[in-house]
Amino acid sequence: MWDRRVWTRPILTFVGLLVAYYAFPVSFDDSPGVVVVSLVATLAGLALIGSSMVAELIHLRRGEKSRSTSGLAMLIELLVVAFSLAFFLLELASPGQIVDLRTRTDALYFTLSTMATVGYGDVHAEGQAARALVCGVIAFDVVIVASLVRWSTMRRSEGR
């Protein structure tokens, strides 16, 4: 059943992350006005993320019933965006590291297809730095995310 209270924070975190991700200035060659607007939008997105995370921590600190699923969703959202930004910045710093990665959406697509182990092949790691970062994403995905999902599932089954 959909419990709006449980999923409000992950949804707000998702919105904040997308705003911060797409607004984050990667070039300061633009006009000062564009850079300032980008920085303000990034800070607004980060403020939304921060307030959601603080609210979740307060909830946990009070010892209220655990909502590990929504907390896990917030963590995964944060990591997807962090890896996407890392891939995008790597490609900006060293063009050709990731074939056909030209935009932030390409980086998000590449990260999600890598984390989901789909790997369509249209956007793929070519350079050694990119491949090392992809190995980190895959290892993280297999070890950490799988462990968190397993832990969450075990907690639910113990509660029944």
pLDDT of residue 10: 83
Of the candidates 129, 128, 93, 91, the one whose C-alpha atom is nearest the C-alpha of residue 110 is 91
Under a CB-based contact definition with an 8 Å cutoff, are residues 20 and 42 in contact?
Answer: yes
Q: How far apart are CA 116 and CA 5, in angstroms?
A: 28
CA 152 from chain centre, in angstroms, equals 19
Is the per-residue pLDDT at 158 higher than 90?
Answer: no
pLDDT at 62: 72
All structural domains of the chain, each given as residue ranges with its CATH number in brackets, are: 4-159 (1.10.287.70)
Give the span between the Cα atoms of 32 and 160, in whole angstroms. Answer: 57
In tens, the pLDDT along 98-133 reads 999 999 999 999 999 998 888 788 999 999 999 999
Residue 75: CB partners within 8 Å, gap ≥ 6? 148
Higher pLDDT, 29 or 160: 29
Percent of the chain with pLDDT over 70: 86
The model's pLDDT over 45-71, given as tens digits with 9 standing for 90+, comes to 888 887 877 777 777 677 666 556 777
pLDDT in tens, 36-52: 888 888 888 888 887 87
Q: Give the pLDDT of residue 159.
A: 63
